Each structure stands twice: as structure tokens, then as C-alpha cells.
Structure 1
Amino acid sequence: MTFRRTSPRTPPRASRKAARRTRTALPCSVLAGCALLVGCQGGTDATGSSKSAASATTSPSASAQPHGYVEGAEEASEQQSRLVLADAGTGTVKVLDLITEDVTSLRDSDDVQGLRTDGRFAYLNASGGTRVVDTGAWTVDHGDHVHYYRAAIRDVGTVAGTDASRVHSDQAVTALSSAQGDARLLDRKKLEDGTVPRGRTLTGTDGGPVVPYAEHLLVTATGAGKDTVEVRDRKGARVTTLKETCAQVRGEAVTRRGVVFGCADGALLVSEDKGTFEAEKIPYGTAVKASDRAVDFRHRAGSTTLAARSGDDAVWVLDVTDRSWTRIATGPVVAANTAGEGAPLLALGRDGVLTAYDIDTEKSVARKELLAKGTGSASVEVDSTRAYVNDAAARKVYEIDYNDRLRLARTFPLGFAPTYMVETGR
């Protein structure tokens, strides 16, 4: 299979805001990358599992292994991005390696209804439960430096009877939760070893999202009013209840400054410092109809700038660092995303046109006709230099350089309809 390339990947332009804002080093507990944090001195391995340096390898001399060594994985000098693609009609599931352009075919999956990722694993909602695919690409963020890894792509198995409409992981636990029931907690190390653990059910969640964070679990939709956020230990026991509430919680995202939950009156930012959890409300600042609130946050992994559709004709941008909301009138939109500070908002319209907006001015700065008019659904995935848009009708995926006026960098013809798409390796 041959893909069309118009130019190589290039680094992003410097952020305009970066020159205006003095950076403060953040504690490890509020880094989104700590979900996969490893101990450089041997406290944890590069998959995030607790083990000593001596047990991290079968070699007699662990000290002979290079820093960041992971058995069975290759360390790379750049992010190893891969796209997981699924056809809702035929059940076709494939992984596209964006570095090598190789396509790996996996077994078909009946009745695919959704696709999620935690940065390494892909989770397909299908008949009979949630299917787990190890994409073999992930990033480990130590705060002062980063490791990139690639390994074999493999099917792990199926979590029977579980609908994973939300998936979040840290170094020890993966939480699968849905709006219909309780959450299922899986042993992360067993997933990394290639098996699906039986897991255990976390009760009392009432269908709210559950997010592993700072060696605890953030559990929403609890309490009499179903607007309370609890901090629990990894066994499910309550540690504390946050003072700030979050009514009608919908939508969540893990950022470098903490975990964001979407509430009826804005967002709730939960952070941790030295074992103490705090919650801060970021209100909309104006009355917002239920149909116009942000309920599905999209962002580049670790970024503190989030995008979410607002009703039928606008997109919310939440700047977590500045604690501010911006509502940009985009017209009818199918999907939206942003790479973060200094990058444009990317909005894919129902007319098939991808538009870039300057978030500061709220003005359109570039347009690119991509999909056929009347497109029903698509995704916009972003990383540090590129955006990816799936075109199910044309059976293609487009790679966009959002720093160069939405230049079409590569086109990937696939031979099947990529109804669902997620990017891993981040």
C-alpha cells in the first residue's frame, strides 16, 4: 500500500503566549505524564510498574542496562505515533504506524460502537464487552526529560460485559467506566504483560467518570445530590470528599495542572500537592443553556488547553492555566481539537471544511476543504506537530500541518472506512 506524502513532519512554531508567561516547574503529581511515570533510579520501571532496578530485566547485571530500558521494547528518539482505526460497518480493525507507514491488520470486531485510548492501549466497544489492543507505542514523561517507546502490536483480549465509554489509566490501574453503570478497575501491569485481568467493580459511582490520579481514584457523581467528587484509594475506600461540587458531571480530561471535570456551571479542576487534594471551580462566567455546555473535552495529551463542542454552532476553549473559557462561533461543527498554547483551534464543519481559528482573536486564519459535504461524523486527533482527520466515506486519513495554514502533509488511502480513530504513542 502506497501513501502520498507532500513533505516530512516539521517542528511546531514557537508559542506566542510562551514569551508572555513565566513557566513554573510543576510537581510530579500534577503532570499528566505521571500516569506512566517511571523512576530513573529504579523505583518503577518504564511501563510504570513498581519494581526494583534489579528485577526490571532478566539480565544478571541490571546496571548494565541503559537508562530507560524496557524489556521487549525499543526506545526511540521521537514520539512513535500510531493510529488505531475501526470500521463500524465491517468490523475491520487496523493500526497505522505514522513513522513507518506500515499497516497492521487485527482480527475483525463485531458491532464496533466506539473507540477510546489511554495513550498506549486502544479500547473498542463491541458486542460482548470491551476489546483491548496494545498498540505498542507510548511515551514516558519524567518532567525534565521524556522517553519514547515502540513494541509489537498485539490483541490483548476482551473485558467481558463492560462498556468502556470512558477510559483512564495511571501506572497501576486502568479504569473503565460508562454512563450506564459502575466502573471496572484493571491491573495495568497485567495489561502490559499481554493479558486481560478479571478486574474488579468499583461501586457507588452512579455512572460518573472515574479517573486514576496521584495514586488515588477520583470518583464523581457521588453523594445525595450526585454532585460530589470523592477521593478514594486504589482499593475503593473513601479517603476524602472535595468541598467543591460538580453538578451533572459530563466530560473529563487529565492535564498537567490536574483533572478537569465538566459541570453544569463550568468546570471543576482537581489537583494534588504532597498528598493533599484541592478542587477549584472554573465557572463559565455567564448563563449557559444545558445544550450549549461543554461535555466532551478534546486536547493534546498533557496540554492545558481543552476544546469541546458547544451546541450546534460553536466550540468552547478552556484554558486551564488562565482559568478562562472562550466560546468561538464556528458554525455547525462535527469535531474540534487543539494542540494547546499558541496553537489554533481546529474545527471540522459539517460541510467537510477544516478551519483553524486564532483562539486569542476568535478569528478564522485558515481553511481546508477535506471531506464531502454533509459528513456525519469524524475525529480530529492532534499531537505536537500534526493533526489527523478520518474520512470514512473516502476511506482515507489526512495528515494536516496545522502550523502551516492547514497544509495537507500526507494522505493515507486505507481500503476500508475508518469510522473511528484514536492516536496512541503520546
Structure 2
Amino acid sequence: MTPSPTPGARVSPRLIVLAALAVLPLVACSGEPDPSPRDSSAGGDENHGEFAGAVELAEPALGLTTVDAAGVVRHLDLLDESVSELAGVGDASGVHTDGRFAFVQTSGGVDVVDSGVWTWDHVDHFHYYRAEPREVGTVPGTGPATVATTNSSTSGGSGVFFGESGEAVLLDTEALADGELVERYRVSTTPHDGLLVPVGDLALVTEPDASGTAARVLTLDGDGRPVPGGAHPCPDAQGTITTRVAAVIGCADGALLASVVDDELQVERIPYPPGTSAPAATSFAGRDGRPTVAALAGEDRVWLLDTRAESWTLLESPVPLAQVTAVDDDDEHVVGLSTDGRVVVLDGGSGELLGTSGRLVAASLRSGVGVPTMVADQQRVYLSAPAEKRLYEVDFADDARVARTFETPTRPLYVAGTGR
């Protein structure tokens, strides 16, 4: 890698006029605690995640932020079912979220849109906020981009990697919360399908081997410079997610868990169980704020990675799956999308089929118009249906019952769960 960081590069924000959103009264702390946090980034803000102009809420302002073919970004408030138009970003090809910001892939780079709703993790409880939504700005770049975020939408960094050019950009997340797009640095690497994963004030960036495949990760300091001795093998690095325990990077032989403890970076390798021959996990999904995440192992098996216990579990699926996510609740629910368009609920301990819906997104899967996306909460899973022009709310604990259906004015090609 040839680093060429440009710390503090600033892009002027593009603001748009938005409809004002109703706010709820201030209340005391509440939430579902996880009793044994390890990740020092959780609860790191002294201001409890609050920013000027934000109002603290009694409960999370959960929503679904969607992007259609014209690049119109809309937000569905799951509490009052109102819909707001947030931005117009042009031709979109994907979206990623940290629970607040929507990072929308476009032909010009990555557009950042602030949904205006977020949850702040205070380790043993949570704070919930609402502010004015807005379009923050564009991270310029060419080709598809991979975005990696932390579990804080008010501090730390957000990583953007443009594989076609090999540029790795670390954004200042606190500046995003203030409505500014600030690049902490932009580093040039060898073009490859890579990742830039923020971990505390540091970041891990992939480095390819001679074949052009990501083979290891390098540790970068706050200015984008390689840290001596900070290289870690990770053959065929693909897929990343941040749990409340650590940042996860998938490798052909397992996963890396990266966290900052007492200001020191810790990177641990979690190998696959001996003797297993299932395909490696290359994309992870799970409920925000929980330690266990899920990944497909082909169509007929599921990997569960418990980042607290640092262990893998391989489940056999009774039906072929196109997607999977871990709820990580007391009943160990795992929710999948079958290849014929059904929401299926599995027991995370045994793999037993607990419930199944009708073929909700069969037309989307058959036509290839957008990719249906699942977003899991504590009690519901939300499923986008691009071809059907709908969003579904499914009660996974009640035989995958469809609790609500939301019709959309256009096809919701991309969807992100926000307010989380």
C-alpha cells in the first residue's frame, strides 16, 4: 500500500429544505441492556449522544429509509406511519446505514443523508434522539464503494472504500452529526475489492496479494498512516459489521474481531470450527446493539458468530435461503428470506423451522427488480419488496405473521433501518 493521506479534507455540505418532524417529550434513560460490554467505543460520548437542536425521546424513533430508482430518499416513521421526503441523490445503486445516516452509492460517489433519528448506547441503557433531517454531502469517488460504520452515529469515524480506484476515505462521524462532511484522510491503495473499517480512533484497511485479492489488513493511525506491527492476515477478506463487542471482518478461514480496550487496539482471530467445510461467511447481518450476527453458508446452511463468546455455530436450514439475520433475543430467533420469497424463522440453537410467511417478495426475487432487504428489531423484522412496491412488518415470534403492510409510491430499491 502506498499511503497518501490528506487529513482534514472538507467537502461543503449540500442542504435541502425538509418538512419539520414532530418531536416527543424528554424522558429518563431506558432500553434493553447487555450486561457485559467489551467494546470501549460504546458509550464513549460525554454528551450522551446529544447534539444542538436534537430532542430526546421517550422511545426510539424507528424508521425505514428508502431510495428509489430516481434517487429519491424517503423516510417512513414506524410509530405514526408518516412518510417524509428527505433528499434527491440521483441514480442510486445501494445504501448502507449506521442506524442514523444513509450512505447512498451513486455514480459520483457516496451521498450522505442524515435521517435525523438515532439511538445512543450508554452500555446499560439507551438514549433516543430526533433532529432535523438533512442531506450532508457527497464523498467523491469512482466505482462501487463499500461502507463500514461503528455503533455510534455521533463519534468516531465511518469508512468508505472505492475498489475501482483503491481509495480509502475515513469520514469524521461527529462532523456528520453537525451537518458537515469532513474527510479525516484519504489514502491511496492498490485497487481491489476492499474495506476500510473504523475501530476507535484507528482503522483497518485491506491489502491485496499479487492476485488482487484482499489478503491481510493493516492498522492505520488517526492520520491514515500505517502503524508499525499492525498487519494481520485475513485471506479473501469480505464482509464487515460492528457489534457492541467489536468490529468484525470476514476471512476465508474465520473472522477477525477488532476493538479498542484501554486505548489499545486488540485484534483476535476466530477460526471456523475444525472439520467444517461450509462456505465462508462473506456478509453479516444482525440486530443493532447485539453481539451475535448471522451469515449465509451457501443456500442451505447458516453461520452464527457470537462475538461475545468468540465462537461460530453452523445451522442446517430446512429451506434454501437468500438472506439471513440474527435477532439474538432470549429465544435465539434467526430470520431468513427463502429463495422463493418467504420469511422463515429458525431456532438459533437447533435450526428448527419455527414459522414461515407467504411468498411476500416472490415477484422481486423473480424479476430482479431491486434486492429485498431485511431489518431486524427486538420484536419485528422489516422486509422491502421492490417489485411489489411495499414494505412489510413481520412478527417473527408469531409464526412469521405479517403485522403491517406499507404501500410505497415508488419501488423501494434500497432500504435501511434508521433510528436504531
Q: Is 1:191 aligned to residue 163 of structure 2?
A: no
Task: List per-residue Cα deviations over 1:89-123 (Å, max 9, x = no partner).
Answer: x4332111112211111344332110111221101
CA distance in 2, matches of 1:210, 1:351: 34
> Which residue of the partner structure matches residue 298 of structure 1?
285
Amino acid at match of 1:237: R
1:329 matched residue in structure 2:
317
- CA deviation map 1:156-199 (0-9, x unaligned): 22222254322324513222124332211222233222233365
**What amino acid sits opposite 1:110 in the alignment?**
G
Residue of structure 2 equivalent to 1:349: 338
Q: Which amino acid aligns with 1:26?
A: P
Aligned equivalent of 1:5:
none
Query: 1: CA distance between counterparts of 2:65 and 2:157?
Result: 22
State whether residues 207 and 217 of structure 2, in contact with CA within 8 Å, keep that contact through their aligned partners in structure 1.
yes
Check 1:112–1:235 CA distance in 2 against 1; reply closer, same or farther (3 A cut). same
Amino acid at match of 2:140: A
Q: 1:199-232, CA deviations, whole angstroms, 9 ceiling, x for partnerless residues?
A: 5312347543122212221223368895333332
Distance 1:247 1:100, change over 3 A: same
Q: Which moved further from structure 2: 371-380 or 347-356?
A: 371-380
Q: Are the counterparts in 1 of residues 156 and 200 from structure 2 also a CA contact under 8 Å?
A: no
Residues 264-310 of structure 1 show CA distances to partners (whole Å, capped at 9, x for unaligned) of 111122233223333322222246668x2210101111211111122
CA distance in 1 between partners of 2:182 and 2:37 (Å) = 34
CA–CA distance in structure 2, aligned partners of residues 403 and 378 of structure 1: 21
Pair 333,73 (structure 1): closer, same or farther in 2 beyond 3 Å: same
d(CA) in 1 for partners of 2:259 and 2:137?
A: 33
CA distance in 1, matches of 2:252, 2:108: 33
Q: Does 1:118 align with 2:98?
A: yes
Alignment correspondent of 1:127: 107
Cα distance in 2 for residues equivalent to 1:102 and 1:205: 45
* Amino acid aligned to 2:79: I
Instruction: Name the structure 1 match of 2:225.
Output: 237
Say if 2:244 is the partner of 1:253. no
Q: C-alpha offsets along residues 122-174 of structure 1, whole Å, 9 cap, x if unaligned?
A: 01111212111100011111213321001122222222225432232451322
Kindly provide the CA deviation profile for residues 206-259 of structure 1, in whole angstroms up to 9, marking residues without a partner as x.
543122212221223368895333332211123343575211110111122212
Identity over aligned pairs, percent: 34
Matches within 5 A, 1:412-423: 412-423=406-417
Distance 2:255 2:64 in 1: 30
- 8 Å CA contact retained: 2:51, 2:177: no
Kept in 1, the 8 Å contact 2:58–2:128? The answer is yes
Counterpart Cα distance in 2 of 1:341 and 1:183: 35
Q: Would the aligned equivalents of 1:339 and 1:382 in 2 still touch at CA under 8 Å? A: yes
- Higher strand proportion, which one? 2
Contact residue 265 and residue 288 of structure 1 kept, 8 A: no
2-structure distance, mates of 1:288, 1:227: 21
Change (3 A) 1:375 1:334: farther
Asked whether the equivalents of residues 139 and 149 of structure 1 are also in contact (C-alpha less than 8 Å), the reply is: yes
Give 1:360's match in structure 2, choosing from 349, 353, 357: 349
Q: What SS does the aligned partner of 1:191 have? A: helix
2:163 — aligned with what?
Answer: 179
Q: Decide whether the 8 Å contact of 1:121 with 1:134 is kept in 2.
A: yes
Matches within 5 A, 1:1-400: 25-27=36-38, 29=40, 33-34=42-43, 37-39=44-46, 45-47=47-49, 70-88=51-69, 90-161=70-141, 163-169=144-150, 171-180=155-164, 181-197=166-182, 200-204=185-189, 207=192, 208-221=194-207, 227-242=215-230, 245-286=233-274, 292-322=279-309, 323-342=311-330, 343-373=332-362, 375-376=364-365, 377-400=371-394
- Give the partner amino acid of 2:78: L
Aligned pair in 2 of structure 1 residues 159, 271: CA closer, same or farther (>3 Å)?
A: closer
Q: Which runs of 5+ in 1 are unaligned?
A: 1-14, 40-44, 48-68
Report which stretch shifted further, 161-170 or 329-338.
Answer: 161-170
Instruction: Report the number of matched residues.
Output: 374
Answer yes or no: is the 8 Å Cα contact 2:103–2:147 preserved in 1: no
Q: Which runs of 5+ in 2 are unaligned?
A: 1-31, 366-370
On the 8 A contact 2:375/2:417 being kept in 1, the answer is yes
8 Å CA contact 1:229, 1:241 repeated in 2: no
- Separation (CA, whole Å) in 2 of partners of 1:122 and 1:358: 31
State whether residues 73 and 85 of structure 2, in contact with CA within 8 Å, keep that contact through their aligned partners in structure 1: yes
Name the CA shift for 1:330/1:160 in 2 (closer, same or farther; >3 Å).
farther
Letter in 2 for 1:368: S
2:329–2:378: 8 Å Cα contact kept in structure 1?
Answer: no
1:227 aligned counterpart, secondary structure: strand
Contact 2:35 2:124 in 1 (8 A): no
Between the aligned partners of 2:130 and 2:58, the Cα distance in structure 1 is 11
Aligned 8 A contact 2:323 2:336 in 1 = yes
Contact 1:221/1:248 (8 A) holds in 2: no
